[in-house]
Amino acid sequence: MRLSALFLPTLKENPAEAQIASHRLMLRAGMIRQSAAGIYSWLPLGLRVLRKIERIVREEQDAAGAQELLMPTIQAADIWRESERYDAYGKEMLRFKDRHDREMLYGPTNEELITQLFRDNVKSYRDLPKTLYHIQWKFRDEVRPRFGVMRGREFLMKDSYSFDLDFEGAKRSYETMFTAYLKTFKRMGLTAIPMRADSGAIGGNLTHEFHVLAETGESGVFYDAAYDELAAKGEIDLEALNRLYAATDEKHDPNGADVPPPERLRQARGIEVGHIFYFGTKYSKLMNAVVTGPTGEPVTVEMGSYGIGVSRLVGAIIEAYHDDRGIMWPEAVAPYKVGLINLKSGDSACDAVCDDLYRTLSEQNVEVLYDDRDGRAGVKFADMDLIGLPWQLVLGPKGLAAGIVELKNRHTGEKHELSVESALARLTA
Ligand code: ATP
Ligand code: MG
C-alpha cells in the first residue's frame, strides 16, 4: 500500500478524551474514530489489525476442533424469556421493537441463540460432543464506556459453546479451550494468566478469566510469582499452571491452591481478554436441550461458553507494546510488516529504487506500507514510529549513492546499513 493513497488520518496532538496509551495511540495512528460513546468505526489500518487478531483466534479455534458458524446480532426476546434472563439482564441489554411490535434486542452474548439452534437440530448423543463458535459484534450498554475499544458498547467477541453428554466430556471440552486460549494469546505476543474466577454456585474451578498484565488494567489480580517463570519458559504446562495460585480476589481461591507466602504473591492490574465458563445444564434445562442417550434415555446436555474480546485485544496488545513515540506491533498482528520510507520522494533516482523495492517485496508477499509522500524526513520517521510497523526500511540520496539502505527494528531500535539485496533477503526470509 502506498501511504499517499491510504486513508490514514493521523493526529499530531494527544486527543483530550483519551486517558490511556492504547486509546490515545489508536486515535493518533488513525486506526479508529468514535461515532457515539463506546461505538467506533474501524479505519483501514485498525481493521487490518482487528482482522489479524481474528484470524489467529479462528485458526486456534479450528485447531481445537471448534466449528465456526455465524449467528445474527439481532435476537428475539422470546428465547431470553425461556432462559429467564430477559428481565435479569437489566439495562446493559439494548432492547427495541420491530414494526410488528415484536420485542427484539441486540445480542450481548449468545447462550440462548446457540441453545435454541442446538435443541432444534441435534437429537442424539451420537452427534456429541460439539463445540460451535462465531466471531460477531455484541452490544452492551455499559454504564461507563471508556478506554476506547477496551470497554466499548459495541465490540467484537469470539464466543464458543460446547455441548457434551456428561460432566467428564464437558470438562474435556473446557480443558481443550483452556489450552487453545493460552496458545491464541501467545501467538499475539501476550502472556495471559488464567485466573480462577468466582462462578458463584457452580463450583469455581471451572471458570477462568484470562488477564494480560498492564498498569492500566481494570481488574486487580493476584498470582504466584512462579507464573512469571512458567511464562518465560514458553511451553504450556497445563498441570503446572493449575497448581499455581492466580485469582482476581486475594482471599478467594475456589480451586484450593495455596495462597503463596507474601514474598511470592504478586499483585498487579490485569486486562480481561478472555473468559471461559462451565455452567452445566443451566440453559439446556430451561430451554429443553435434550438428546437421546446411549440407552434411549433423555439426557439434558452439559454446556460451557468461552469468550475472547477480539476488539479489546487490539487495545490490550498496544498497552503491552508501545513507547513514547508510538506503537510497537508484534509481527503476528502488525497491520504491515515493513514501512518503506523514501526520504526524498520526487527525486527520480530515489523513486526508482524505492518503487522497485516496493514491487519486489509485494511480489514476495511481504506486507509493505510505502511512504511515498512528499514531505520532510522528520515527519515520515515520526509517523512510521507512531503506527509502529515492526520493520522500517529507509532509503535516501546518500544511501543510494553508497548503495545501502537502512533497516530499523521498531522494537529494539537497532539499525543496520545493508545492501539492497541483503535487506530484501532479511525481510523475505
Ligand atoms: P468485563 O468484566 O470486562 O466487563 P465480562 O466479564 O462482562 O467483561 P464476558 O461476558 O466474559 O465479559 O465476555 C467475554 C470477553 O469479551 C471478555 O473477557 C472481554 O475480553 C470482552 N468484553 C466484555 N465486555 C466488553 C466491552 N464492553 N468492550 C470490549 N470487550 C469486552
Ligand atoms: Mg468475563
**124 burial via Cβ count (<10 Å: 0-12, 13-18, 19+):** exposed
Please give the number of the atom of ligand 1 that sits closest to the Cα of 159. Answer: 14
**Closest-CA residue to 331 (of 276, 377, 391):** 391
Give 86 Cα–ligand 2 centroid separation in angstroms: 19
**Which phi-psi region, left, alpha or beta, contains residue 77 (left: φ > 0; alpha: ψ -120 to 50)?**
alpha
Cα separation of 126 and 163, whole Å? 12
Match 483466534 to its residue by C-alpha cell.
Answer: 57
Rounded distance from Cα 371 to ligand 2 centre (Å): 41
Rounded Cα distance between 368 and 330, Å, is: 15
Output the pLDDT for position 256.
60
CB of 158 shorter than 6 A to ligand 1: no
How much distance in Å is there from the Cα of 165 to the middle of ligand 2? 25
C-beta 108 within 6 A of ligand 1: no
Regarding the beta carbon of 310 and ligand 1, being less than 6 Å apart is answered no
Handedness of CA 115, 311, 137, 217 (dihedral sign): positive
Instruction: Sort strands 368-371 and 391-395 into parallel, antiparallel or unpaired.
Output: unpaired
Fold (CATH) for 21-326:
BirA Bifunctional Protein; domain 2 (3.30.930)
Residue 27's alpha-carbon distances to 43, 116, 280, 314, in angstroms, are: 10, 40, 42, 12
pLDDT at position 367 is 98
Q: Measuring from atom 21 of ligand 1, which residue has the nearest CA?
A: 309
Where in the chain is CATH 3.30.930.10? 21-326
Q: Which residue's CA is minimally distant from atom 12 of ligand 1?
A: 275
Return the CATH fold of 338-428: Rossmann fold (3.40.50)
Residue 59: per-residue pLDDT: 98
**Residues whose beta carbons lie less than 5 angstroms from ion ligand 2:** 275
What is the pTM for the complete model shown? 0.95
Q: Look-up: residue for cell 485498525?
A: 46
- 349: burial class by Cβ within 10 Å (0-12, 13-18, 19+)? exposed
Q: Pick from 32, 275, 279, 317 the residue to mutate for probing ligand 1's pocket: most ligand atoms within 8 Å of its CB.
A: 275
Q: Where in the chain is the domain with CATH 3.40.50.800?
A: 338-428
**pLDDT string in tens for the chain (429-residue length):** 999 999 999 999 999 999 999 999 999 999 999 999 999 999 999 999 999 999 999 999 999 999 999 999 999 999 999 999 999 999 999 999 999 999 999 999 999 999 999 999 999 999 999 999 999 999 999 999 999 999 999 999 999 999 999 999 999 999 999 999 999 999 999 989 998 876 554 444 589 999 999 888 988 888 988 888 877 776 777 777 777 888 887 766 655 667 888 888 989 999 999 999 999 999 999 999 999 999 999 999 999 999 999 999 999 999 999 999 999 999 999 999 999 999 999 999 999 999 999 999 999 999 999 999 999 999 999 999 999 999 999 999 999 999 999 999 999 999 999 999 999 999 998
Residue where the block lists cell 491464541: 184
Distance 70 CA to ligand 2 centre (A): 21
pLDDT of res. 208? 92
CA 315 to CA 22: how far, in whole Å?
Answer: 5
What is the reported pLDDT for 204?
Answer: 44
